[in-house]
Amino acid sequence: MAVTNEMLSSFLDTDDEWISTRTGIKERRIISDETLLELAVIASTNALENAKICAQDLDFIICSNVVNNFVTPALSCIIQGKIEAKCPCIDLNGACTGFIFALDMAEAYIATGRAKNILIICAEEPSKIVDWQARDASILFGDGAGAVVVSAGDNLKSIHLTTTCSVEPLYYKRQLEHNPYNQEKNNFQPLVMCGKDVYKLAVSSSTSDIRKVMADAQITQEKVAYYLLHQANFRIIDTIREYLHESVEKFQLNVQKYGNTSSASIPILLDEMNREQKLKKGDMLVLSAFGAGFTSGACVIEW
């Protein structure tokens, strides 16, 4: 369901102006009657239809996911059965950078000849781990799923991943079952986020990553059609844009509609742009994401 800022103000000490001026978010989608699995299956089916292949043509499935109802089996295993695929599959948790990490994994499998068609699914439900009595993280996140099919070709021009261990700015600890031999108390609490630290890490890492992949791909800013950044917060995206001295038109946004959908944000944005026919064959796209860990990654793709 769509949850507006006005709806949040009915039980949080906030209002539309406070949220929208700080984040750019006007509403977000929160799972209610449906399930994350259902969203993931719909996204996967749409990606397969768009790629004009069937599930039986897949050689591998990679699912980027931070949290869902199952600890085990992997969410990718359940999705595999729902879409009737026959290939091996695996989950990865790269936080909001998961889509870029999955692209890198897919490229490695394809480059070594181990796969021809790989389904990447990003399915995220951050609404389950935030404190809905506090206005810090709860106003930022939304649930969603996006998927792409990656096939053999030379459209990935460059890719770069980074990880710098920095746990305190953004983390969530899962509550564990009682163990009679371990007296350590569970330190369970909702998602912890230090906004200022995340802002600094996101801006510095994304700017650095983008410059590196563009240099590796030997392209100038004039050749970039669009920058597709992780839709975390309008202020973060706009600051990165300013650091790069780029025009507003090159930075596509949907954070105002969906909030921060973690690793699903870039594939959702990519799908929307494709359906709106904003992308032309030969367009150079720069993708960049950043998230807990602290992880970041960027790549250059020719559409």
All domains of the chain in start order, with CATH? 2-153 (3.40.47.10), 157-302 (3.40.47.10)
Of the residues 5, 65, 117, 230, only one is catalytic, namely: 230
Q: What is the pLDDT of residue 105?
A: 98
Known active-site residue 245: no
**Confidence category of residue 182, pLDDT binned at 50, 70, 90:** confident
Q: Position 103: which residue type?
A: L
- Quickly state the pLDDT bin for 179 (edges 50, 70, 90): confident
Q: Which of 63, 89, 96, 122 is catalytic?
A: 96
What secondary structure does DSSP assign to 156-188, as a single string? Answer: EEEEEEEEEEE-TTEEEE------TT--PPP--
In this predicted structure, the answer to whether residue 177 has a pLDDT above a threshold of 90 is no
Q: Is 260 a catalytic residue?
A: yes
Q: Tell me whether residue 194 is one of the annotated catalytic residues.
A: no
Q: How confident is the model at residue 189 (pLDDT cuts 50, 70, 90)?
A: confident
* pLDDT surpassing 80 at residue 188: no
| The predicted structure's pLDDT at residue 96 | 98
Q: Say which residue the tokens 């630290």 belong to.
A: 197
pTM to 2 decimal places: 0.95
Mean pLDDT over the full length of the chain: 96
Strands (E), the chain: 2-4, 27-29, 60-64, 89-92, 117-124, 144-151, 156-166, 170-173, 189-193, 224-229, 284-291, 293-302
The pLDDT confidence band at residue 141, using thresholds 50, 70 and 90, is very high
186 pLDDT exceeds 80? no
What's the average model confidence in pLDDT over 55-68?
97
Per-residue CA distances from 143 to 30, 34, 258 (Å): 5, 11, 8
Are 227 and 250 in contact by the 8 Å Cβ rule? The answer is yes
